[in-house]
Amino acid sequence: MHYVRLLRPPKLAPSKRGMQTELVFTITTDLGDSFLCPSEPIDLAVTADIYSPSADVSCELSERRKLQWLPGSRVAKPGYELPPMVVNAMMSGDAVELCVGTASSFSAEGVQSILSSSGENPSQGGAGGLVMPVRVALNGPDADNDISTRKFRLGAASEPPEYLEVEEEIGESIARHVWDAGVVALSAIAGIYKFPRLHSSQHPCMQALRRMFDDSEAMNILELGCGVGILGTGLCAVYPRGAGDCTILMTDLDEAEGRARSNIALLKHNRSGSQLGNTNILYENLNWDHGRQGRFGRQVRLRRWDLVMLSDCTYNVDMLPALVGTLSALHASNVKWVADGDEPVSTRVFLATKPRHASEQALFDLMAGDGWQTLETQILPLPVLGGERESVEMYLFEKA
């Protein structure tokens, strides 16, 4: 999958007719290691979305000046005169956001397009799921903050829109944007509830997760290496409302804390308390170098963890011993919760990865060596526009 990425916040400047804006963006893979290289030019669309108390309105800025991404493109720097409606909205304090994306037949706008791109077609539409659009505020508190957002539709296009919004930081930090495995893992889990008839939702891996979520009186879910939090906040958004209480604790290195916490706040802001039901979402720092030694923060120590989840955290082979050591230390911490005479506990791990190098296979030896058993494996193909197909692999491990 490719992502439209802003290289800097949009510039606004007065013009003869009012106001103009200039954008600088690229379209790359999640790692930023290759640019989108389609075989034919593809049309891009830039819209200005106005959110006013009376109605939300969308104006297409690229309508008059066609914008295309060509084979070999590396960066685009389009400039647009803002229509009076947009300028007036900004003057009167309404929020205005720019959205840069591809024509909708290529767009990775949400669960439906991601799952349709993996060979299933809930939309009966085109390939979809190939290029993720980006959004950025033109005014308001976020406008100067080097923040852009991904707005990810969770349900079917035919249903009232339900989005997950995730802020990213404009720039190159690994912890500050969404990654393919997180996007696909969230889509697969959301699919269980939003598109239950799909093959992906019926897969034993998803069905095992569904049974855990639906049947537990209380679930404690710990996420390692949450990054900006697409998987943790997304799971919180789609967690079944009729099920028991659920606590999701997202963790990462301290440099990821600010953005992860602001995405939790954004989730809570976008959904009233009642919409999140009895699901609670928290953040705490957890460095795997400490975790492998059983050194955990207060929130981790407070609970027994039914499920540990992680996406796109296994690409750095040097970190695998610390990561697997942390999983095993979490299991050891779980075991301490068992009183004499209680049933023995098992810990489950849901791990999603987009394999990038053969060396990452070391993960499976380390997991097996520490006594983790693979319960389920599910692979979802991920088509790539202008490139070779990729896939995201999802595993459910258990240690008893």
Ligand X SMILES: C[S@@+](CC[C@H](N)C(=O)[O-])C[C@H]1O[C@@H](n2cnc3c(N)ncnc32)[C@H](O)[C@@H]1O
* Residues 97-136 interacting with ligand X (rule: CB under 6 A): none
Which residue number, 45 or 228, has a Cβ lying nearer to ligand X? 228
Which residue number, 42 or 235, has a Cβ lying nearer to ligand X? 235
The two tokens of residue 285 are 């720092």
Query: 260 to each of 19, 97, 233, 289, how far by Cα in Å?
Result: 34, 22, 9, 20
Residue 178 is a binding residue for ligand X (CB under 6 A): yes
Distance CA 127, CA 389 (A): 13
Q: What is the DSSP track for 125-148?
A: SSS--SEE-EEEESSSTTTTTTEE
Minimum distance, C-beta of residue 38 to ligand X, in the bound complex (Å): 25
Largest pairwise CA distance in the chain: 80
> Which listed residue (188, 312, 351, 396) binds ligand X by CB under 6 A?
312
Interaction pattern, residues 267-296, with ligand X; x per rule: CB under 6 A:
--------------------xxx-------
Residue 362 is a binding residue for ligand X (CB under 6 A): no
Which residue number, 123 or 311, has a Cβ lying nearer to ligand X? 311
Residue 257 is a binding residue for ligand X (CB under 6 A): no
Strand 67-69 and strand 42-51: pairing? antiparallel
Give the residue among 259, 246, 240, 223 at the shortest CA–CA distance from 189.
240
Residue 300 is a binding residue for ligand X (CB under 6 A): no
Pair 307, 348: CB distance under 8 Å: yes
Give the residue among 119, 120, 116 at the shortest CA–CA distance from 128.
116
Strand 42-51 and strand 56-60: pairing? antiparallel
Give the residue among 397, 392, 399 at the shortest CA–CA distance from 30.
392
> Which listed residue (136, 138, 164, 181) binds ligand X by CB under 6 A?
181
Residue 253 is a binding residue for ligand X (CB under 6 A): yes
Pair 182, 350: CB distance under 8 Å: no
Minimum distance, C-beta of residue 7 to ligand X, in the bound complex (Å): 20
Tell me the site size for ligand X, rule CB under 6 A: 22
Which residue number, 226 or 363, has a Cβ lying nearer to ligand X? 226
> Which listed residue (44, 143, 147, 230) binds ligand X by CB under 6 A?
230
Applying CB under 6 A, which part among 6-14, 70-78, 252-260, 341-349 lies near ligand X? 252-260
* Interface contacts to ligand X, rule CB under 6 A: 174-175, 178-179, 181-182, 225-227, 230-231, 252-253, 256, 287-289, 311-313, 319, 322
